[in-house]
Structure 1
Amino acid sequence: MGLQRLKQGDTIGIISPSESIKGLEDMYQHGIKTLEELGYKVKVGKHAENSYFYSAARPSERLADIHEMFEDKEVKLILISVGGDTANELLEGLDYELIKRNPKMISGISDATTILLPIYDKTGITAFYGPDLIFTFGQKDIPNEIKEQMFAAWSTGDFDITPIDNLIDDNGKPVNEKWKCIREENVEGKIIVGHLDLVAILYATRQIGTLKGKILCLESMGNTNIIHTWLQWLKILGVFDEIAGVILGYFPDLDANSKHFRDIEDLILEITEGKEFPILKINELGHCIWNYAWPIGSKMRLDATNCKIEILENYFKNNFDKE
Structure 2
Amino acid sequence: MNASSTSPLPAPYADIFELIAFGPEGNAEAEAAVRRRDALLTKPQGSLGRLEDIVAFLARWQGKPTPTLDNPMVAVFAGNHGVTAQGVSAYPADVTAQMVKNFTDGGAAISRICIQHELNLRVFELALELPTGDITVEPAMDDRMCAATIAYGMEAIAGRPDLVCIGEMGIGNTTVAAALLAGLFGGTGADWVGRGTGVDDAGLARKAEAVDRALALHRAGLTDPLSTLARLGGRELAAMLGAIIAARHHKIPVIIDGFVATAAAAVAHAITPSALDHCLFGHRSAESGHARALEAMGKAPLLDLGMRLGEGTGAALAAVIAKTALNLHTSMATFDQAGVSGRE
User: Which is higher, the Rg of structure 1 or of structure 2?
Assistant: 2
Going by fraction, where is strand more abundant, 1 or 2? 1
Q: Structure 2 length normalisation: TM-score? A: 0.33
- Highest RCO, 1 vs 2 (Cα 8 Å, sep ≥ 6): 2
Q: Structure 1 length normalisation: TM-score? A: 0.35
Going by fraction, where is helix more abundant, 1 or 2? 2
